Amino acid sequence: MALFQSSTSTLPEVTPVPRHIAVIMDGNGRWAKQRFMPRVMGHQRGVESVRSIVKACNNKGVGFLTLFAFSSENWRRPADEVTFLMKLFLKVLEKEVSKMHASNIRLRIIGDRTRFDEALVRHIENAEKLTAANTGLVLTIAANYGGRWDVMQAMHGLIQANPNRTTAFEEDELTPYLSMNYAPDPDLFIRTGGEQRISNFLLWQLAYTELYVTDTLWPAFDLKAFELALESYQKRERRFGRISEQLKGEKNA
Give catalytic residue positions.
26, 74
> Does residue 68 bind ligand IPE (CB under 6 A)?
yes
Cβ–Cβ under 8 Å, residues 242 and 43: no
Residues 191-220 that bind ligand IPE (CB under 6 A): 193, 195, 197, 199
The alpha carbon of 61 is separated from its chain's Cα centroid by a whole number of angstroms, namely 16
In one letter, which amino acid is 129? K
- Tell me the closest approach of the beta carbon of residue 15 to ligand IPE, in angstroms: 26
**Which residue number, 122 or 197, has a Cβ lying nearer to ligand IPE?**
197
**Which residue number, 4 or 89, has a Cβ lying nearer to ligand IPE?**
89
Could you say which of ligand IPE, Mg ion, none residue 68 binds, taking C-beta under 5 to 8 angstroms by partner kind? ligand IPE
Q: Which of 8, 20, 26, 49 is nearest to 200 (CA)?
A: 26
> Does residue 96 bind ligand IPE (CB under 6 A)?
no
Cβ–Cβ under 8 Å, residues 157 and 175: no
> Does residue 232 bind ligand IPE (CB under 6 A)?
no
**Which residue number, 107 or 217, has a Cβ lying nearer to Mg ion?**
217
Instruction: Give the residue at shortest CB distance from Mg ion.
Output: 26
> Does residue 26 bind Mg ion (CB under 5 A)?
yes
**Residue from the set 4, 70, 177, 226 that interacts with ligand IPE by CB under 6 A:** 70
Mark 8-47 with x for binding to ligand IPE (rule: CB under 6 A) and - for no binding.
Answer: ----------------xxxxxxx-----------------
Cβ neighbours, 10 Å, residue 233: 21
Cβ–Cβ under 8 Å, residues 92 and 166: no
Could you say which of ligand IPE, Mg ion, none residue 55 binds, taking C-beta under 5 to 8 angstroms by partner kind? none
Instruction: Using the rule CB under 5 A, give the single segment among 26-34, 138-146, 157-165, 183-191 that binds Mg ion.
Output: 26-34
Instruction: Give the residue at shortest CB distance from ligand IPE.
Output: 29
> Does residue 42 bind Mg ion (CB under 5 A)?
no
* CA-based radius of gyration for the chain: 19
Which residues would be at the binding site for Mg ion (CB under 5 A)? 26
Which residues would be at the binding site for ligand IPE (CB under 6 A)? 24-30, 68-71, 74, 85, 193, 195, 197, 199
